[in-house]
Chain A
Amino acid sequence: EADIYQTPRYLVIGTGKKITLECSQTMGHDKMYWYQQDPGMELHLIHYSYGVNSTEKGDLSSESTVSRIRTEHFPLTLESARPSHTSQYLCASGTGGLYEQYFGPGTRLTVT
């Protein structure tokens, strides 16, 4: 089981602000993912990474960007937050080729 951490857990921020959601894992997993989820609803993949300096967009279009400079760290950035960005953001990691994904606790973002 992976140890995967997300900060902050909850964030309320005004429109137009720049925010970065942090995600770190301690298991040395190559693959990391960001999902967007409205409460109790399905998960939508917005970004993924297969390793350092590798990032790809997911199935759901997102105005966010990601970076993968270190294996254990996969931050997500919104340059200018809008109310439509209000959602829960889940980070996950997994080992190569096996598909298992282990999720962090999530960040609940509210943009006012």
Chain B
Amino acid sequence: GENVEQHPSTLSVQEGDSAVIKCTYSDSASNYFPWYKQELGKGPQLIIDIRSNVGEKKDQRIAVTLNKTAKHFSLHITETQPEDSAVYFCAAPNQAGTALIFGKGTTLSVSS
């Protein structure tokens, strides 16, 4: 069946360190992998996405890597700052291509 597994569920880092969140998906036909950041009391915000025709995409301090063979993709945040503290969700299309399936989320805490 369709499934998106996200790890870890919580992650605590010191300011300036790097953070990595990993997701695995089950549908080999999936071709779009977004990452969302959700701050307390707000809706999720799309921060970066990657399509299956590329292996890596970078936007300033955040990057996403995709390994289609292993069916996993990861979010990398470098030089973390306290304002990076939030819940991060990965997602992938469902098999029918009608909607996104979300991971269970990772609570990132960056302490100064």
Tell me if B73 is interfacial: C-beta within 8 Å of chain A.
no
Say whether A105 faces chain B, with CB atoms less than 8 Å apart: yes
A66 contacts the other chain (CB 8 A): no
Candidates A40, A59, A90; contact of B43 at CB < 8 Å: A90
Report the minimal beta-carbon distance from A35 to chain B, rounded to whole angstroms. 8
Count, chain B residues at interface, CB 8 A: 23
Comparing B13-21, B54-62, B75-83, B100-108, the segment that makes contact with chain A is: B100-108
**Which of B32, B46, B105 is A41 in contact with, Cβ under 8 Å?**
B105
Residue A101 at the B interface, CB < 8 A? yes
A104 partner residues in chain B, CB cutoff 8 A: 43
Contact between A33 and B99, CB atoms less than 8 A apart: yes
Among candidates A45, A98, A106, residue contacting B99 with C-beta atoms closer than 8 Å:
A45
| Chain A residues near B (Cβ < 8 Å) | 6, 33, 40-43, 45, 48, 56, 58-59, 90, 92, 98-106
Give B contacts to A, CB under 8 Å: 32, 34, 36, 41-46, 49, 87, 89, 93-94, 98-105, 107
Q: A41-B104, A48-B98 are in contact. List 18 more A-B contacts (CB 8 A).
A: A41-B105, A42-B89, A42-B102, A43-B89, A45-B99, A45-B100, A56-B98, A58-B99, A59-B94, A90-B43, A100-B34, A101-B46, A102-B46, A103-B36, A103-B44, A103-B45, A105-B41, A106-B41
